[in-house]
Every structure is written in structure tokens, then in C-alpha cells.
Structure 1
Amino acid sequence: VEIDLALLADAATIDGSGKLNILGIFDRLTAASFPTRHPHLSLVLRFSAGIQQVGRHDVGILLKAPDGNEVVRIDGEINLAPGPSD
């Protein structure tokens, strides 16, 4: 399993036909002082995998401060399904 897209954006949705819609991609975050709070953002990750990797997989996201201390940790699970056949 590989991450083939990773970015921060104002919002991201997947429509009824499976298209990924991304609004307001960030290329940097800035603040006048720290700590700070950003009102809302979306972490967009798209995974790529082979047919042999179909099924459930544990996934974790860890954000660290510059000093290496853990700031946020999110643990979860993804279910990889076969894509459409061509």
C-alpha cells in the first residue's frame, strides 16, 4: 500500500460517482504566534494498492512538534476495495 496523494485543503469530499473533490489546497500554514489554531482543514490521502492488498488495514497519522513531541495521533482502519475493471 502506498500513499500517492497527500495534501492539506480547506475541504475535500467524494461525490456519488467516486470523484475526489478538493477545495483550497494549502502549500503552507502560517501564524502570527504559536500555539495557534486553524479553524478547519482537511488532510487528503489517496492510497494505491495491488489486488493482493484488498481488505482491511490499520492506518495511523502522527503529527509532531519541531522538538519531536507528539501533538496529534489518529489511529484507524481503511478498507481497500478492488477498483473498476477496464
Structure 2
Amino acid sequence: MNIVLSGVLQKYAQYQREHSLAAETVQEAIQLLVGRFPAMGNVLLDSAGHPRKVHRMFLNGHQISPEQVGQCVKQEDRLEILTAIAGG
């Protein structure tokens, strides 16, 4: 599957926007990505290893929740991970 990272997350992936990974689930793809770029782990995942709520994930253009990361994916699927911007 292909993972596309937002600008903030690209910093932790050597400024590469797109990553191709062989995974069976969204969670596995995220774990493979963090394995490839360990510094991303603390930014992307909470202490339990789940995606932080500050990130929004879109699988083939449809938003998925952190609870849906166990769903199966195909090689041609595209996961976009965006970081929500907060502030006042």
C-alpha cells in the first residue's frame, strides 16, 4: 500500500512524502513505517502504540478512525495521514 504523509510528518521520514509498504492492515503499514523511521513513532503513536488523535487518516479518500486501523488493505490502497492544526 502507499502511505502519503503531511508536511509535519515528512520531517520524521527524511522529507519523503510517499512510502510504499507491503502490509495486510492499516496498523501493520503504520508499524512498518515507524520501523523504517523510528523517530516518527513518538509523534505518530501514543504510548499504547495507537495513532494519536491529532492525526487524521484517510484510506482511499475516506476518513477512518483510530479504531479502524485493523481493517485489511490491498497493495493498491492509499493511506493519507494528516496532522490536524490546532491553536487559537
Give the TM bin, normalised by the shorter chain.
Answer: under 0.3
Q: Which has the larger radius of gyration?
A: 1
Q: TM-score, with normalisation over the residues of structure 1?
A: 0.24
- Relative to its length, the structure with more helix (as a share) is 2
- Relative to its length, the structure with more strand (as a share) is 1
